[in-house]
Structure 1
């Protein structure tokens, strides 16, 4: 609790540039991940063999998306960032805002690259593949029994990207990160038994689950695609969160590692001058004591000499009187 009293001293204006500069290479890697994902979307996926006997599970209707593609970034990226900003306005901690945004973007982009790479490598047909391949409903097969599609090339290309679900992995990567973030901020695992906190942190995961269910209901994915996408998203989100924040059950789980490291460095810098001042004070006290001792020794030395002289004269008198 004493550490929380330092909040508000590190704002975007005072420390924002310095914090971002410290993680310059991380931001460069983010741009590299964007370029890699663009390349993965430009290449064609593996055109897996699809025979006539395999069409039984691929004849579902080609429907529109219940959750549009454009809405997924809003749900998985924009919404968490808005919450990060709200927390920043309240706490005024640029370390928390910067690392939350950086961790979220890493979670999203790493998940996207993994998902799209697997999509291209596997080339699994979607449940609505028949209507993508044959818009007229008349299927045609070649010499080896493989399909000979006559539909739109881009639509067919997307038809080979069923596994894993991109909508689902994106949702769990962003909203899973948000759930971990809220767990730390609300101190959900402080052993006080406030179940209401769990209800709050389950909301993002519930929304991500609904996105995954919609992909099966729309016949764009098999259930195994959704399960794999959710697993990829939540695992990557957990790794990215723990890279910047302590586990939510940790006593210091409410703040990023960088914040507590900064406090330790600040405390160390303040302790060094105090130690130096203390040493100087001790040296001054020792010097004063030495001067007093020297003065006392010189003063007592003078008296001692006089006493010694008196004692010497007294002994001489006694000896002389004894002789007499």
Structure 2
């Protein structure tokens, strides 16, 4: 493959976006595991962090990955049948997920908010309100003592990463984006409007709401944690959608990179090789 073809593919698929996104995701993930969360003091008498510690949760972490993969498969299947810029949709969806993960990872460490089940996490390790008093640690405040336990016990470190909800943000970044995809292809407001097409387009959000609310039922998050996560996920989906597409006056969804490629072709900027509009689609 010659250098012109490499440049063509790099420009077509906008690989720099992926490189930057992956770099930020890896960096933020490392920070989550390396940097200790903000050391927030707490009280053993606080009822908001004294809920049961549930391990058999409704939506395990692997379910989020499955949700993302199934969404990508859905886009490929629909666009293969109907025709459309598969790569552009896959890229925008992937960047939406990456964007919210970066934001959530950084906020979790910065906020250091204690989960609703934190006291039960301590008790599960044999630690109670008398543990600190039994140890001669006059040089160390009680908050610092419990925070340092997080370095020894992963379950306690995770107990200080409540805000915002990663499950909520991830599910909404995937399923809100899928709703935008369905809106683009079903166009509920066209042809006099259709309530059926509107419900179909909004249906993925039902799963996102179930996933988000389940985190409060499992006592892994406070209610405002999931609200913040949902907002982050929705904003990420909208941001990446409108960065990749725009809506015309007649309601059509147009990929910006394809329009740019067609303009360059018409201007004669591409002298050889497969047309960009064909490569993207």
TM-score (norm. length: structure 2): 0.80
Three-state SS of the structure 1 residue aligned to 2:167 is helix
Which residue in 1 is equivalent to 2:28? Answer: 37
Which residue in 2 is equivalent to 1:295? Answer: none
Partners of 1:204 and 1:89 in 2: CA distance: 20
Are 2:90 and 1:101 equivalent residues in the alignment? yes
Larger gyration radius, structure 1 or structure 2: 1
Which residue in 2 is equivalent to 1:66? Answer: 58
Deviations 1:185-225 (A, max 9, x none): 11223262111111111111111000001000000000000
Deviations 1:215-259 (A, max 9, x none): 000000000000000011101110110001114x75253331223
Partners of 1:203 and 1:60 in 2: CA distance: 32
8 A contact 1:111–1:233 mirrored in 2? yes
Partners of 1:208 and 1:261 in 2: CA distance: 34
Are 2:72 and 1:81 equivalent residues in the alignment? yes
* 145-154 or 210-219, which deviates more: 145-154
Three-state SS of the structure 2 residue aligned to 1:51 is coil
Map of 1:233-312 to 2, 5 A cutoff? 233-247=233-247, 250-266=249-265
Three-state SS of the structure 2 residue aligned to 1:246 is strand
More helix by share: 1
Partners of 1:252 and 1:264 in 2: CA distance: 21
Partners of 2:76 and 2:183 in 1: CA distance: 17
Three-state SS of the structure 2 residue aligned to 1:60 is coil
Q: What is the CA-CA distance between 1:81 and the residue it aligns to?
A: 0.6
**Larger relative contact order (Cα-Cα within 8 Å, sequence gap ≥ 6):** 2
Are 2:45 and 1:46 equivalent residues in the alignment? no
Which residue in 1 is equivalent to 2:207? Answer: 207
Partners of 1:146 and 1:91 in 2: CA distance: 58
Partners of 1:250 and 1:206 in 2: CA distance: 29
**Runs (5+) with no aligned partner, structure 2:** 269-281
Shift of the 164–188 alpha-carbon distance from structure 1 to 2, 3 Å rule, reads same
Which residue in 1 is equivalent to 2:274? Answer: none
**Runs (5+) with no aligned partner, structure 1:** 1-14, 270-324
8 A contact 1:52–1:145 mirrored in 2? no
Shift of the 170–258 alpha-carbon distance from structure 1 to 2, 3 Å rule, reads same
Count of aligned positions:
250
Shift of the 16–139 alpha-carbon distance from structure 1 to 2, 3 Å rule, reads farther
TM-score (norm. length: structure 1): 0.70
8 A contact 2:38–2:110 mirrored in 1? yes
8 A contact 1:128–1:220 mirrored in 2? yes
Deviations 1:156-205 (A, max 9, x none): 00000001100000001111111111111112232621111111111111
Shift of the 147–262 alpha-carbon distance from structure 1 to 2, 3 Å rule, reads closer
